[in-house]
């Protein structure tokens, strides 16, 4: 449709003016379009695609980056216990954090949706604050709340007779703390997404279900969840990627400690690559984030293609 | 929209007076408010605690009195930070970087989104999907190869990029441009084709169609993308931590952490003040432009 409208235009200007061939090429629609996307293509190619492949190359070099060692870095990693600890922790961290973010986001979205529309804005505004504050800043507040000697949480809990909790000092508690902070930071995103999805579910469906005598559990299971399936899937995938690649929260809260028991891929890659000066080893560690990315990419691509066909 | 739906839903119960149903609804509402209050407290505790601590003197903090209350409020932390050259340098660097990055992002992504959504050319559909996929490649995967690349680059050309604030102008667009392009493609695609056809018939060039039709019509999307680019570049933590070490070149998030934490001595009053001031610009933008902020958040998943 558009093409039909535009072609005569470009041909007319081209032939009427009789400019040089370069000028006519520039006037052509596809050339103009290509020039407009050129900065984007260059940026993505030079600063995203190339480094991604370059890290594959880096991972096969030795520490001084002079000698090719093949899969030596990986063989070295596989022999280290810390590596397997990091793999385990990354998976625990990502899966449990995303699960609780999705769960809390779902519940809170329902509550916000329940409230009269007048007040929804206010609640939404308050509940989204964790997502707005830069994570590096809010994690500092959490670090202070978790402080070993002045923890405000422990102060409050001591009134209930619960002894001082080593929030970041003990391995199990430290893992809990980083997951808690991540859930605090990420749940609002899910809440907003689910709220938008809930609003798009037609009210008639619920009315029909109510007439048929469905209780609230059946309404959620047979109407809300199927209607929101797409949003839930895509939000979870997104969050899984972001959480798997998280850096700020773990870095500031525990810096991987105590005894590497909260390191995840990103923080350990930073420790090895930048602080330890072994860039190839760090690059090999960060490459392990790649499988999850590939899986997510396949699912998202499928989703995009499906939507393209629907539209 | 929603308010009318809700009124419709409530209307029959009011007229017919189904005793049990309205009572159920009232209870459901009460429970909703109860849990919403709980969740709101959970969300707001850290920022409020930042504010409480920022108003305390170091003596009061170390006295271990009730941490949730300020007994002797003082603004000394704010005065000290806002008169310290170092902190103001961080703030200025952050502001410069964010504003430049927003400009660069918009200059790259708006024309690209226009071309990808309206001027079909060979490979444009693949490119649009590809742009979205690059958004999924996290910064934590790229920082090591990028660091090495920049070292090699300065060895070859003698241009020093590492440890200068402007290196962030090259790095941050990799985080902002793909997503902003994606949002703008969605917004541009929703503009009716008749509009730009009419413009072309009236003799407008491609550039005029973009500036006179697309940008004004898609202004909400543009604002949402701008807010996204700003918050991302303001909050980014990993790249400045890796690429910048000298304190006069640092940006706020890293600056607060590396300079206010001196060894094992945590000056918590000042750290919390700095964190609160660092969180202020995104919070202020959010307070005034919440709807655009949320539009930008949800656009990525719902527009595609």
pLDDT score for A5: 42
Of B9, B196, B290, the CB nearest to A203: B9
Q: Is the pLDDT of residue A12 over 80?
A: no
- With a pLDDT cut of 90, the percent of chain B lying above it is 9
Same domain, A100 and A159: yes
> Is A266 in Cβ contact with B134 (below 8 Å)?
no
> Is B119 in Cβ contact with A293 (below 8 Å)?
no
Within-domain flag for A67: no
Q: Is the pLDDT of residue A26 over 60?
A: no
Within-domain flag for A65: no
What is the spatial distance between Cα A308 and Cα B146, in angstroms, rounded to a whole number?
A: 34
CATH number (domain holding residue A252): 1.10.3720.10
Convert the pLDDT of each residue in A104-123 to its tens digit. 999 898 888 888 878 888 88
The answer to whether A156 touches A145, Cβ cutoff 8 Å, is no
Of A32, A231, A241, the CB nearest to B136: A241
Query: Residue A215's pLDDT band (boundaries 50, 70, 90)?
Result: confident
Same domain, A274 and A204: yes
Same domain, A194 and A50: no
pLDDT score for B21: 59
Mean pLDDT of B8-23: 53
Would an 8 Å CB–CB cutoff place A252 in contact with chain B? yes
Query: Residue A96's pLDDT band (boundaries 50, 70, 90)?
Result: very high
Query: Residue A16's pLDDT band (boundaries 50, 70, 90)?
Result: very low
Of A117, A123, A287, the CB nearest to B6: A117
Same domain, A38 and A84: no
pLDDT score for B288: 86
pLDDT score for B105: 92
Convert the pLDDT of each residue in B51-97 to its tens digit. 988 888 877 777 777 778 888 888 888 888 888 888 888 889 999 99
ipTM of the complex model = 0.82
The answer to whether A100 touches A106, Cβ cutoff 8 Å, is no
How many inter-chain contacts (A to B, CB under 8 Å) are there? 309
Same domain, A107 and A21: no
More confident residue, A176 or B135: A176
Q: Is the pLDDT of residue A78 over 90?
A: no
Report how many domains make up chain A: 2
Report pTM. Answer: 0.83
Residue ranges of alpha helices (H) inside chain B are 2-16, 19-54, 58-62, 76-82, 85-118, 124-135, 139-157, 167-171, 173-189, 193-201, 206-208, 215-217, 219-235, 238-243, 252-260, 268-288, 290-302
Query: Residue B104's pLDDT band (boundaries 50, 70, 90)?
Result: very high
Q: Is the pLDDT of residue B99 over 90?
A: yes
Q: Is the N-terminal amide bond of A258 cis, ω within 30° of 0?
A: yes
What is the spatial distance between Cα A20 and Cα A26, in angstroms, rounded to a whole number?
A: 10
What is the spatial distance between Cα A219 and Cα A230, in angstroms, rounded to a whole number?
A: 18
Same domain, A111 and A22: no
Domain B76-302 coded CATH 1.10.3210.10: no
Return the number of other C-beta atoms located less than 10 Å from residue B183's C-beta.
Answer: 26
Distance from CA of B216 to the nearest CA of A (A): 19
Mean pLDDT of B23-48: 86
Would an 8 Å CB–CB cutoff place B116 in contact with chain A? yes
Name the 3-class secondary structure at B134.
helix
Q: Is the pLDDT of residue A299 over 90?
A: no
Which domain range does residue A30 map to? 2-58
Convert the pLDDT of each residue in A120-167 to its tens digit. 888 888 888 898 899 989 998 998 888 887 788 888 888 887 778 888
What is the spatial distance between Cα A241 and Cα B138, in angstroms, rounded to a whole number?
A: 8
Same domain, A45 and A82: no
The answer to whether A134 touches B235, Cβ cutoff 8 Å, is yes
Same domain, A109 and A14: no
Convert the pLDDT of each residue in B164-194 to its tens digit. 888 889 889 998 898 888 888 888 888 888 8
Same domain, A277 and A135: yes
Mean pLDDT of B283-296: 83
Same domain, A43 and A101: no
Same domain, A22 and A78: no
- Which among A182, A89, A253, A30 is positioned nearest to B206, based on CA atoms? A30
Q: Which helix (H) or strand (E) holds A75?
A: helix A72-79
Q: Enter the tokens of residue B3.
A: 């308010």
Same domain, A82 and A54: no
What is the spatial distance between Cα A145 and Cα A282, in angstroms, rounded to a whole number?
A: 31
> Is B42 in Cβ contact with A36 (below 8 Å)?
no
Would an 8 Å CB–CB cutoff place B34 in contact with chain A? no
> Is B148 in Cβ contact with A184 (below 8 Å)?
no
The structural domains of chain B, with segments of one domain joined by +, span: 2-54, 76-302
Within-domain flag for A68: no
> Is A273 in Cβ contact with B46 (below 8 Å)?
no
Query: Residue B32's pLDDT band (boundaries 50, 70, 90)?
Result: confident
> Is A245 in Cβ contact with B141 (below 8 Å)?
yes
Residue from B118, B140, B195 to probe the interface with A (highest A Cβ count within 10 Å): B140
Q: What are phi and psi of A68, to 5 degrees?
A: -85, 125
Long-range residue pairs from B7-12, CB within 8 A, at least 24 positions apart, any chain? B8/A203, B9/A203
Return the number of other C-beta atoms located less than 10 Å from residue B248's C-beta.
Answer: 12
What is the spatial distance between Cα B213 and Cα B219, in angstroms, rounded to a whole number?
A: 10
> Is A2 in Cβ contact with B196 (below 8 Å)?
yes
Distance from CA of A301 to the nearest CA of B (A): 8
């Amino acid at each position: 449709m558009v093409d039909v409208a535009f072609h005569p235009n470009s041909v007319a200007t081209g032939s009427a003016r009789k400019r040089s061939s370069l000028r006519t090429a520039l006037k052509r629609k596809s050339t103009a379009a290509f020039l407009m996307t050129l900065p984007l293509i260059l940026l993505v190619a030079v600063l995203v695609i190339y480094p991604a492949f370059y890290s594959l190359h880096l991972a096969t070099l030795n520490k001084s980056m002079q000698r090719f060692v093949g899969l030596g870095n990986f063989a070295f990693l596989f022999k280290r216990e810390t590596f397997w600890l990091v793999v385990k922790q990354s998976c625990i961290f990502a899966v449990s954090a995303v699960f609780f973010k999705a769960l809390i986001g779902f519940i809170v979205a329902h509550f916000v949706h329940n409230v009269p529309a007048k007040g929804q804005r206010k609640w939404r505004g308050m509940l989204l604050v964790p997502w707005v504050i830069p994570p590096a800043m809010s994690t500092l507040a959490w670090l202070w709340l978790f402080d070993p000697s002045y923890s405000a949480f422990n102060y409050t809990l001591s009134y209930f007779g619960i002894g001082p909790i080593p929030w970041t000092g003990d391995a199990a508690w430290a893992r809990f703390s980083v997951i808690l902070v991540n859930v605090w930071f990420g749940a609002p995103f899910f809440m907003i997404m689910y709220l938008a999805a809930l609003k798009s579910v037609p009210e008639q469906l619920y009315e029909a279900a109510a007439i048929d005598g469905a209780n609230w559990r059946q309404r959620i299971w047979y109407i809300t969840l199927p209607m929101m399936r797409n949003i839930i899937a895509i939000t979870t995938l997104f969050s899984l990627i972001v959480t798997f690649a998280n850096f700020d929260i773990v870095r500031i809260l525990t810096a991987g400690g105590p005894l590497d028991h909260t390191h995840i891929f990103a923080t350990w890659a930073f420790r090895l690559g930048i602080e330890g000066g072994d860039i190839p080893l760090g690059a090999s560690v960060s490459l392990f984030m790649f499988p999850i990315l590939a899986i997510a990419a396949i699912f998202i691509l499928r989703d995009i293609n499906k939507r393209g066909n629907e539209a | 929209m929603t308010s009318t739906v809700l009124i419709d839903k409530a209307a029959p119960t009011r007229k017919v007076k189904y005793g049990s149903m309205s009572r159920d609804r009232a209870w459901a509402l009460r429970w909703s408010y109860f849990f919403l209050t709980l969740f709101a407290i959970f969300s707001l505790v850290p920022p409020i605690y930042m504010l409480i601590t920022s108003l305390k003197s170091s003596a009061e903090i170390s006295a271990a009195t009730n941490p949730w209350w300020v007994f002797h409020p003082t603004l000394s932390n704010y005065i000290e930070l806002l008169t310290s050259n170092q902190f103001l340098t961080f703030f200025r660097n952050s502001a410069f970087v964010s504003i430049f990055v927003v400009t660069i992002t918009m200059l790259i992504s708006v024309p690209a989104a226009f071309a990808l959504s309206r001027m079909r050319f060979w490979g444009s559909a693949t490119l649009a999907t590809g742009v979205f996929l690059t958004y999924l490649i996290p910064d934590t995967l790229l920082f090591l190869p990028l660091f090495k690349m920049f070292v090699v680059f300065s060895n070859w050309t003698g241009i020093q990029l590492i440890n200068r604030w402007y290196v962030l102008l090259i790095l941050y667009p990799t985080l902002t441009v793909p997503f902003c392009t994606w949002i703008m493609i969605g917004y541009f695609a929703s503009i009716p084709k008749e509009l730009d056809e009419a413009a072309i018939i009236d003799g407008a060039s491609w550039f005029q169609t973009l500036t006179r039709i697309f940008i004004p019509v898609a202004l909400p999307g543009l604002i949402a993308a701008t807010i996204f680019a700003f918050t991302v570049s303001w909050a980014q933590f990993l790249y400045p931590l890796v690429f910048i070490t000298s304190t006069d070149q640092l940006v706020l998030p890293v600056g607060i952490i590396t300079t206010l934490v001196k060894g094992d001595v945590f000056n918590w009053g000042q750290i919390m003040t700095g964190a609160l001031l660092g969180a202020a610009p995104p919070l202020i933008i959010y307070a005034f432009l919440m709807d655009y902020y949320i539009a930008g958040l949800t656009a990525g998943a719902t527009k595609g």
